[in-house]
């Protein structure tokens, strides 16, 4: 498919003018993390249909696609057109065209949120303490609390000794309950820098009376100081009292007001939804557990701390509108205050939770999944026993490593042609993925590039596991290189010291890079 093109200059001008545009990088996560424009969002061709409808909800939004010469743009354009998208363009020259225009390229993931966090520290001089000093305070049993601003799942893997899981949007709401004595020092940490800086500055912006510090360089700094982390902890923030809630509401609302956040009611939300010329994102910034217990129809679960950290993932259409919902209030106000400073047109919904609510975890909006020839787990087990099939697993590589059909080959959907150069020849193919949907989408593509008969495991690997059959672990058979996941130097427990230090050095340079780029439009209250 031949697409009209737009120049890198035109993309930048849309950003600067705050016109709606989604710049989508179609590569897998690892190459994306090596180099991309500031406001690019990674949406790999491999998963395009499964994610696009929520991430770019308006079908006539301007979408600009690019790769780095891998040939991903044309098939992506066809798939988007088939889904009803009408304003699809290609970035002239792709990533190389951006380089040739001498525009900045950023590394890692969630780059613009991380760059903003560094800008906040530079402008507000957010106080921080080094790992060695915090350890000395722990040893001395100082009057302090350590609040971990990451997702609970990250906290449970590794945490600062004594730390309490308090994801970023919960900090202002819960601080008074955790540290009621104004003399108690509050230390906020994350894995690296961004969420600890934003978390600490949230408390300072809200006027929390306690001494507040970020843990300098987070668990990376702690590890580089050769200090011990805890693992498998489950300490969580407490419930909030009525008095604490009212205090947090007043503080958070004041911060939102200073950031220019606007407030709407249900009628105002309906009015925004009527505007078909603007993208509207609706996010519920409470905890996933609260969301599952009851949420407003049409709102996606996006806990506030992660929404601010991963705005490029949740909302790729730069220039769109965002509405936040929170039955208590402070989490929406604090999250909105940061999104406004990130340049978003953001609103807080007042009320709305007294009507009919939906329950259950967030479920993505999916296109029609094609009907294909399937094979049951029982029949696949027989075929595998006879050595009569080759199984290709299209799951993300971390999921494949945790458990896959015995003997399955790992493959990336966008790399299927290359995968067929590695797998055994002459045998029928069975495709699988966690729930089978991605495998069904890929079946026709396999038929186009191969003479192998193709079937899909009915219900995917989940259905195989549900029968009680064994799963293998590890990445033993790789038909594709596992470039679908970027190895984050701030997650997990097996990172090299050199990689962690290089990551910190990169973060330290982000403020200067923002200045060179010149397109961000951020402000700091």
pLDDT value at residue 52: 98
pLDDT value at residue 381: 97
Fold of 5-112: Oxidized Rhodanese; domain 1 (3.40.250)
Segment 291-314, tens digit of pLDDT: 999 999 999 999 999 999 999 999
* Three-state secondary structure call for residue 65: strand
Residue whose C-alpha is closest to residue 8's, from 106, 109, 104, 75: 104
* Same CATH fold assignment for domains 121-235 and 374-466: yes
* Matching residue, tokens 């495998």: 439
Tokens of 161: 């000794």
Segment 311-363, tens digit of pLDDT: 999 999 999 999 999 999 999 999 999 999 999 999 999 998 998 999 999 99
The domain 374-466 having CATH identifier 3.40.250.10: the answer here is: yes
Please give the C-alpha separations between residue 228 and each of 185, 225, 410, in angstroms, as whole numbers.
Answer: 21, 9, 35
Mean pLDDT of 114-139: 98
pLDDT of 426 > 90? The answer is: no
pLDDT value at residue 382: 97
Could you tell me which residue, 25 or 2, shows the higher pLDDT? 25
pLDDT value at residue 16: 97
pLDDT of 491 > 80? The answer is: no
pLDDT of 167 > 80? The answer is: yes
Angle between helices 73-82 and 48-55 (to 10 degrees): 60
pLDDT value at residue 7: 98
Residue whose C-alpha is closest to residue 307's, from 205, 169, 486: 169
pLDDT value at residue 497: 87
Residue 441 confidence class, pLDDT cut points 50, 70, 90: very high
Strand partners, 346: 322
Segment 7-39, tens digit of pLDDT: 999 999 999 999 999 999 999 999 999 999 999
pLDDT value at residue 112: 96
pLDDT value at residue 1: 74
pLDDT of 494 > 80? The answer is: no
Segment 133-165, tens digit of pLDDT: 999 999 999 999 999 999 999 999 999 999 999
Mean pLDDT of 52-57: 98
pLDDT value at residue 136: 98
Mean pLDDT, all residues of the chain: 96
Report the distance separating Cα 306 and Cα 44, nearest Å.
20
Segment 215-264, tens digit of pLDDT: 999 999 999 999 999 999 999 999 999 999 999 999 999 999 999 999 99
Residue 495 confidence class, pLDDT cut points 50, 70, 90: confident
Residue 2 confidence class, pLDDT cut points 50, 70, 90: confident
Tokens of 465: 């596991």
Please give the C-alpha separations between residue 48 and each of 77, 282, 414, in angstroms, as whole numbers.
Answer: 10, 21, 10
* Matching residue, tokens 């089978």: 436
pLDDT value at residue 230: 97
CB atoms within 10 A of CB 373: 10
pLDDT of 45 > 90? The answer is: yes
pTM: 0.96
Tokens of 293: 């217990």
Report the distance separating Cα 512 and Cα 515, nearest Å.
5
pLDDT value at residue 308: 98
pLDDT value at residue 395: 98
Contacts of 124 (CB under 8 A, 6+ apart): 201, 204, 524
For the chain, give every domain's residue range.
5-112, 121-235, 259-349, 374-466
pLDDT of 188 > 80? The answer is: yes
pLDDT value at residue 379: 97
Angle between helices 194-205 and 111-124 (to 10 degrees): 50
Report the distance separating Cα 221 and Cα 250, nearest Å.
34
Contacts of 250 (CB under 8 A, 6+ apart): none
CATH (residue range 259-349) = 3.40.250.10
Fold of 121-235: Oxidized Rhodanese; domain 1 (3.40.250)
Mean pLDDT of 193-201: 97
């Amino acid at each position: 498919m031949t697409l009209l093109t737009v120049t890198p200059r035109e993309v930048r001008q849309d950003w600067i003018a705050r016109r709606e545009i989604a710049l989508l990088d179609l590569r897998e996560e690892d190459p994306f993390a090596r180099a991309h424009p500031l406001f690019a969002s990674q949406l790999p061709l491999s998963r395009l249909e499964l994610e696009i409808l929520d991430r770019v909800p308006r079908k006539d939004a301007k979408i600009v696609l690019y790769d780095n010469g891998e040939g991903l743009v044309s098939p992506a354009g066809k798939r988007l057109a088939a889904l009803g998208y009408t304003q699809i363009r290609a970035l002239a020259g792709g990533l190389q065209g951006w380089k040739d225009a001498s525009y900045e390229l950023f590394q890692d993931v969630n780059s613009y949120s991380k760059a903003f966090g560094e800008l906040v520290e530079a402008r507000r001089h957010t106080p921080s303490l080094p790992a060695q000093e915090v350890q000395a305070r722990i040893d001395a049993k100082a009057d302090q609390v350590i609040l971990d601003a990451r997702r609970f799942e990250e906290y449970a893997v590794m945490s600062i000794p004594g730390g309490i899981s308090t994801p970023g949007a919960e900090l202002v709401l819960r601080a008074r309950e955790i540290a009621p004595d104004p003399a108690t020092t509050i230390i906020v940490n994350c894995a690296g820098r961004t969420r600890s800086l934003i978390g600490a500055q949230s408390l300072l912006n809200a006027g929390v009376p306690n001494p507040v510090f970020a843990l300098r360089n987070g668990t990376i700094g702690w590890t580089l100081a050769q200090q011990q982390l805890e693992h498998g902890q489950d300490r969580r923030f407490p419930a909030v009292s009525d008095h604490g809630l009212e205090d947090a509401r007043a503080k958070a609302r004041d911060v939102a007001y200073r950031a220019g956040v606007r407030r709407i009611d249900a009628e105002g939300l309906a009015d925004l939804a009527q505007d078909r010329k603007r993208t509207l994102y609706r996010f519920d910034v409470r905890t996933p557990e609260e969301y599952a217990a009851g949420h407003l129809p049409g709102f996606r679960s996006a806990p506030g701390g992660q929404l601010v950290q991963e705005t490029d993932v949740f909302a790729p259409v730069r220039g769109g509108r965002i509405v936040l919902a929170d039955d208590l209030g402070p989490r929406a106000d604090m999250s909105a205050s940061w999104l406004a400073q990130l340049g978003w047109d953001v609103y807080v919904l007042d009320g709305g939770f007294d009507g009919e609510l939906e329950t259950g975890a967030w479920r993505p909006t999916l296109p029609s999944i094609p009907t294909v020839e399937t094979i049951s787990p029982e029949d696949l087990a027989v075929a595998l026993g006879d050595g009569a099939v080759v199984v290709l697993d299209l799951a993300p590589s971390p999921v494949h490593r945790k458990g896959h059909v015995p003997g399955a080959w790992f493959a990336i959907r966008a790399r299927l042609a290359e995968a067929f150069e590695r797998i055994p020849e002459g045998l029928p193919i069975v495709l699988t993925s966690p729930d089978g949907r991605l495998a069904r989408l890929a079946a026709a593509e396999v038929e186009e590039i191969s003479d192998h008969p193709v079937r899909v495991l009915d219900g995917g690997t989940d259905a195989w596991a549900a029968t009680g059959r064994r799963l293998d672990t590890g990445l033993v058979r790789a038909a594709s290189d596992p470039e679908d996941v970027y190895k984050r130097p701030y997650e997990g427990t097996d990172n090299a010291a050199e990689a962690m230090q290089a990551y910190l050095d990169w973060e330290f340079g982000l403020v200067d890079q923002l200045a060179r780029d010149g397109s961000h439009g951020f402000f700091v209250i």
